[in-house]
Amino acid sequence: MLQLPTHDRYQYSSIEARPQFQWPEGKRLAFYIGLNVEHFAFLAGIGSDPFGRAMARQTQRNFAWRDYGLRVGIWRVFKMLDELQLPATILLNSLVCEHYPEVIERIKQRGDDICAHGRTNSETLAGLWEHDEARIIRETTETLTQHFSTRPTGWMGPAAAETRATPDLLVEAGYTYSLGWPVDDQPMWMRTRSGPLLSVPYPMELNDIGFNIHRDHTGREFGDMIVDQFEEMVEQSEQQSLVMSVALHPFICGQPFRLRPLRQALRHCLNHKNRDTVWFTRADKIAEHCLALPTFQETKDDTSL
């Protein structure tokens, strides 16, 4: 019989048939901001363009557009998050540490957690030989550890791209969770050849680069999308604990006309009548909580390939 290529990372599991668990203090919905902080090559590699798509030809114009995010946009986003008293998970290219020290210092001041995001979003892991991919993971980890005095435990590769070996290499490099598989609304275990890797939900849809750049929706529509997602997931979480994440890029959401509806949408979530059931948190805290839960320990069996 002819068969399609597949994987053995996880088995099918209906979300309606899983054991119940709760977030801290009996919360039902875990909510976190994933803020992508990225560095790009000049006139080389890959990257988005405001008038093109993801693999647009690299010009000084789209380099400058993305660099706006670290010169201007990110400071507006940080100010907004400070005003709303929202934590964030920083998906950080390690080369940002070498080129934007002021940004790194602000992240430290805020106390946000770091999720390793490769060296630069001008390259992806897709198509690499295994030893080359392992070297990039190692170099990324070493740089981030050097600048933050603690090593990252979460990973999502540039452009969320992976090879068939990426989950194996992550566990072997000491990572405990990944944001790279948008497959569920709950954390779940993935199998690797060296033991289990926790997958924490991270959105492809509720993501400003896909929504505003690749599909040409407005900032106002993105804000409405956040509100609709939040309202629906608050209701669904009455039945089982869930995760909601919003993925942001400073060169996109940091544009003033997009920042205003984003702020309004996040304020709506924070002021919701059922906000006491929502855990406004970070990806690392979600992972740490799950790693300590008996429910997740019971399902950790048989996760080695």
For residue 213, what pLDDT is reported?
Answer: 80
Residue at token pair 């993305």? 66
For the chain, domains (ranges, CATH) are 32-38+55-298 (3.20.20.370)
Residue 201 zone, left/alpha/beta (φ > 0; ψ -120 to 50; rest): beta
Q: Region 38-55: what's the mean pLDDT?
A: 83
Determine the Cα angle at 220 with ends 219 and 226, to 5°. Answer: 90
pLDDT band at 32 (very low <50, low <70, confident <90, very high): very high
Model confidence at 52: pLDDT above 70: no
Write the pLDDT tens digit of every residue in 273-290. 999 999 999 999 999 999
The percent of residues in the chain predicted with pLDDT above 90, rounded, is 87
User: Looking at 132-136, 190-194, 236-240, 293-297, which range is the least confident one?
Assistant: 293-297
The helix/strand count (H/E) of the chain reads as 12, 9
Model confidence at 187: pLDDT above 50: yes
Mean predicted lDDT score pLDDT of the chain? 94
For residue 279, what pLDDT is reported?
Answer: 98
Higher pLDDT, 146 or 17: 146
Write the pLDDT tens digit of every residue in 133-167. 999 999 999 999 999 999 999 999 999 999 999 99
The closest alpha carbon to 185, from 206, 166, 164, belongs to 206
pTM over cut 0.85: yes
Write the pLDDT tens digit of every residue in 53-96. 656 789 999 999 999 999 999 999 999 999 999 999 999 999 99
Give the other-Cβ count within 10 Å of 170's Cβ: 28
> Which two three-digit tokens encode residue 69?
């995010």
Model confidence at 14: pLDDT above 60: yes
pLDDT band at 304 (very low <50, low <70, confident <90, very high): very low
CA torsion, ordered 19, 24, 26, 32, to nearest 10 deg: -90
